[in-house]
């Protein structure tokens, strides 16, 4: 004979789980990127201190995002989502500020590229470098806003699923 019992089951909603996996992969690659670029922090400090400080802030926020993801994996609500959304807000603000601080980085990257490829015209290299750095930084700001929005909706759907009562069949013969 099979009975049913009402219980609250802790499970991951697909949208929430996909966001957890994608964000975990993203934060992992971001952390690796920061470790690889530590020598650049010291090199750029002399001619672009504002940019370097913004990158150090982004590295610290990445550590906070890792803590937020741990809380989200463990479903420590609402601490995890608050930390993650705060990280996205700070990264967005840092990205916007960085748009105004990229001038010396564009010049440095152009000089390094010209040194490596002297046969290409300097004006073309400067234009391409400038466009790429500003475009990629702008894209990062947009991605941060989109990810924060998606995370809010994923969190809401997970919260609804966690609060629902699930009717699960109970096998009486297994109990005996």
- Residues 101-141 have pLDDT tens digits of 999 999 999 998 899 888 889 899 899 999 999 999 999 99
- Residues 132-152 have pLDDT tens digits of 999 999 999 999 999 999 999
CA 83 remoteness from chain centre: 12
Burial degree of 48 (CB within 10 A; 0-12, 13-18, 19+): buried
pLDDT of residue 163: 87
Across 28-32, average pLDDT:
94
pLDDT of residue 150: 97
Beta strands in the chain (DSSP E): 2-7, 166-171
User: From the CA atom positions of the chain, what is the Rg in Å?
Assistant: 23
pLDDT of residue 149: 98
Average pLDDT, rounded, for the chain:
89
* pTM of this prediction exceeds 0.75: yes
Whole-number Cα distances in Å, 36 to 91, 146, 159 = 19, 26, 37
pLDDT score of 19 more than 70:
yes
What DSSP letter does each residue of 153-170 carry, written as one string? HHHHHHHHHHHS-EEEEE
CA 123 remoteness from chain centre: 34
């Amino acid at each position: 004979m099979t009975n049913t019992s009402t219980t609250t089951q802790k499970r991951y909603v697909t949208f929430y789980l996909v966001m957890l996996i994608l964000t975990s992969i993203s934060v992992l690659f971001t952390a690796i990127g920061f470790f690889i670029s530590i020598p650049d922090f010291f090199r750029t400090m002399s001619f672009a201190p504002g940019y370097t400080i913004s990158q150090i802030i982004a590295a610290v926020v990445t550590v906070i995002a890792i803590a937020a993801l741990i809380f989200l994996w463990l479903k420590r609500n609402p601490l995890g989502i608050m930390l993650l959304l705060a990280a996205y807000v700070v990264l967005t603000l840092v990205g916007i500020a960085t748009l105004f601080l990229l001038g010396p980085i564009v010049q440095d990257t152009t000089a390094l590229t010209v040194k490596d490829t002297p046969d290409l015209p300097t004006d073309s290299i400067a234009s391409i470098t400038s466009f790429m750095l500003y475009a990629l930084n702008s894209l990062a700001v947009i991605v941060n806003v989109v990810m924060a929005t998606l995370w809010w909706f994923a969190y809401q759907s997970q919260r609804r699923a966690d609060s629902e009562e699930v009717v699960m069949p109970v096998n009486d013969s297994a109990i005996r």
